[in-house]
Structure 1
Amino acid sequence: MGFWKKLFGGGKQDAGSQETVSPREYLLREVEAALAEDSSVEEVRRLPDDYGLHFTRNGESVQTYLDNLFAETRELSPEQRAQVIRRFLAAFSGTKASQSTWEEVQARLLPVVRSAAFGVMAPPSDAPTRTLVARHTIPCLRELLVVDQPDASMYVQHEHLAEWGVSEEEAYVTAFANLARIQDVGVDLQEERPSPVWSVDSEDSYETSRLLLPGFLASFAGRVSGRPIAVIPTRSTLVIAGDQDPATVSRLCDLGEREFEASARSISPCLYTVDDAGRVVPYRRAGHDALALRIRRTHMRFAMGEYTAQKEFLDEQHEAKGVDLFVASYGAMTREKDDAPLSWCSWSADVDALLPKTDVVVMHLGEEDILPVPFSVVQRLAPDCLTLVPELWPTRYRTTGWPPPRVLEQLRAAGVDIGTYEVP
């Protein structure tokens, strides 16, 4: 998957017709076709108000939602998707289905890290109990919960927590306690020279989850040369090194970008490290040399892909509900003189908008009067004009007013030249 790929893809042509269908509809038809081939299944029908199916198998009534399956399979090849669909339907082939209890699932609960765009189209916002349980701790990534199963993992939704009678906090504490028991499995030193490189080869499908464990990445201080850095380009790839040797850092960049591009289950091409408190944060290399700029560009491109996917989802949602709300694009550029990256968004008066968090806000003061201002300065000088929307990730701010003349003058004085502005 490329940096610029639209994560939800375009429509597909249905076999044998000229009809173009959405990816969600296409998957629905694939599941219906798979059920039609099963002689034990009858009375397959779509749920009238949800993305799912009701069917009868061996006399047993089954109702299943397909939101998680869509999120899990949207980037897979047709062959891989067919295999996942078969495994998904096989879960309903047993005897009388029953809801799992907390006692049955708590030992199999684990955290996973996914891109921010993963699963945002499922389920719809007017079904809040069926949204995925998620925490937002690392920019453009989400911490989700899954129940580990033999053939597949079930993503935990808020309705599951309600069924189990546990809080979100209790579920995360349990999941991380389970992960802590396997954190050292498969952690091996791959290279010692010129700079130590470690990887997680546990083959348990939770290699990248280790990065979420408090103190895990920080524990490599002293085992690597320099500040610990990590890359998680795919769900099964976690490689850790130090940032002292530029050649080693460059190799991690190569690995991250190459595997992210090639994998159907990519996460992020970026490098991550820990702050002074031991929290995992995006890695920023000091200076303006080629390697430092490359790392910054990779973060910017990844953010652009996540914001593009978010904008597509929000635009579709607003159109369906008749909401007049402009979702601003995340713009990205590199300066000609030194290839330094810069992100920007556009803000106009009298436009109700959702702005992405960028380096610069380009304010439109008139037809030919534009004013680029650092985003942090806009937040400081006009705090009443922007309101954080906590449910959106990556971060967006709702414009709640246009700055008054006095504040506009202050903003004009703080304006920057995009061609020469140095991002802090």
Structure 2
Amino acid sequence: MGSFDHPKPDHLAALAQHRTWAEVRPLLRPILRPTTYKQAALDNLLHRRPEADEIDTRFVSRPTFPFVDELVAIDLPNTRSVINYSTLAMWPVSTDEVFAAARENLEAIAQPHNPRGNAILTRTDRDGDAYLTSWPLAPGWLASFSQRYAGRRPVVFMPDIDTLIVVPDIPHLLARIYRQVEQQYVDARHRLSPQGYTLDEDNAVVPFDRAGRHEQHRTAARAGYRLAIEEYAAQADWLNEALERDLEFTHCGLQMAIVGEVKLAGTDTRPYTYTIWGKGVDYLLPAADYIMFASTDADNNAVPVCTVPLTAALEITGLAPIPGMSPIRFEAPFWPDETMLTQLKQASVAL
């Protein structure tokens, strides 16, 4: 998931360790990356340079959209130096001040919509200098399309870290763009998101399926599911690699367990996701719409027990998110006892 061979590659902030805050501040830029990016990059670093484990090499980041995080980079001539907590500790500022400075700098380079230009905006940042896919973070940037779209909401897409597409929410147009963006996302070397993002009632940028009713709401929801599945799959890859290498999840402080998968099911009109919690094995469970509980018979064949909405299952079993893990997972080191199973069966739903 890393972008280390990008024309303007991302690196840890070692390149900035001898720069003062006054020197760095005008060079800060926010960047959007899939949520698994920071862990994949950290894992890559720690196995090339084990001594890096002695300092806080975690990227400074915060969730911005589901499965998409905001990081901060120092814009240098031929590279981006992504800020980590060890570098941040050298400056007399807080995390919030770093993010605020980066967004302030972004406002100066994000180009508002030209009302005399094309209604559909498609741009690619070949050299990485424009930070196109960060522009939706600039206050008022996406709203600048609203007047031209005559009552239609603007929808922005960022299938990879260098491509920006904005269209009005005309149903047939959105359907075509979602198909196009999904293919771009699948084919991209440096993926970002297959989802579209628009403005809610408060002019905040949100995923399209969270901004109210629309003819393409289900299309947007499926794109959101696609992103969740891909991000959980990427996370599962590095967790399983760590398990094969170390026989435990070293950097998470967890013991050996099965890394649960997110599966998509349902119909075009009612899609949903689920994961399986099986008896007799420890699990690291992803967040899905439902948890399917499965026991085994005398021949070790899976036997469904019940299917429970995630929120109800968590409340009954008491599972909590694993600290620091993103996307979130829940450690399930036990099989529910009889009291829990009775409650789970009562909360079970037919899908």
Q: TM-score with structure 1 length normalisation?
A: 0.67
Partner Cα separation in structure 2 for residue 379 and residue 215 of structure 1: 38
Kindly report which structure 2 residues correspond to 1:149-168, keeping only aligned pairs within 5 A, or say none.
149-168=76-95
User: Are 2:196 and 1:271 equivalent residues in the alignment?
Assistant: yes
Give CA-to-partner distance per residue, 1:119-156, whole Å, 9 cap, x none: 42232474561121111121111111110111121111
- From 240, 256, 261, the counterpart of 2:181: 256
- SS of equivalent residue, structure 1 residue 130: coil
> Hey, what's the Cα distance between the residues in 1 that align with 2:307 and 2:116?
47
**Partner-residue secondary structure (3-state), 1:110:** strand
Instruction: Give yes or no for the alignment of 1:102 onto 2:21.
Output: yes
In the alignment, structure 1 residue 348 sits paired with structure 2 residue 281: no
Pick from 334, 337, 341: which aligns with 1:408?
341
Offset at 1:275?
3.6
Alpha-carbon separation, structure 2, partners of 1:381 and 1:222:
49
- Does 2:223 correspond to 1:298? yes
Question: What does 1:16-415 align with in structure 2 at a 5 Å threshold?
Answer: 71-73=2-4, 99-124=18-43, 126-127=53-54, 129-183=56-110, 185=111, 187-189=113-115, 196-198=119-121, 204-218=129-143, 220-224=145-149, 225-243=151-169, 245-284=170-209, 291-323=216-248, 324-335=255-266, 338=268, 340-349=270-279, 351-367=281-297, 368-382=303-317, 384=318, 386-399=319-332, 402-415=335-348
Report how far residue 253 of structure 1 moved. Answer: 0.9
Q: Is contact 1:188-1:199 (8 Å) kept?
A: no
Separation in structure 1 between the aligned mates of residue 55 and residue 176 of structure 2, nearest angstrom: 42
Note closer, same or farther for the CA distance 1:350–1:221 as it changes in structure 2 (3 Å cut): farther
Q: Look up the match of 1:67.
A: none
In the comparison of the two structures, how many residue pairs are matched?
A: 326
Shift of residue 390 of structure 1?
4.0
Deviations 1:79-104 (A, max 9, x none): x6xx969xx9xx99xxxx97122121
Contact 2:17 2:87 in 1 (8 A): no
Partners of 1:372 and 1:128 lie apart in 2 by 43
TM-score computed with the length of structure 2 as normaliser? 0.79
Residues 328 and 346, structure 1, Cα contact 8 Å, conserved in 2:
no
8 Å Cα contact 1:387/1:400 also seen in 2: no
Structure 2's unaligned 5+ residue stretches are 47-52, 249-254, 298-302
Equivalents in 2 of 1:388, 1:215: separation in Å?
34
Q: Aligned-pair distance for 1:260?
A: 2.2
Distance 1:366 1:167, change over 3 A: same
Gaps of 5+ in 1: 1-6, 8-70
Which residue of structure 2 lines up, in the alignment, with residue 42 of structure 1? none
Q: How much identity, in percent, do the aligned residues show?
A: 28
CA distance in 2 between partners of 1:230 and 1:362 (Å):
35
What one-letter code is carried by the residue in structure 2 that aligns with 1:105? V
In structure 2, the CA distance between the partners of 1:288 and 1:366, relative to structure 1 (3 Å rule), is farther
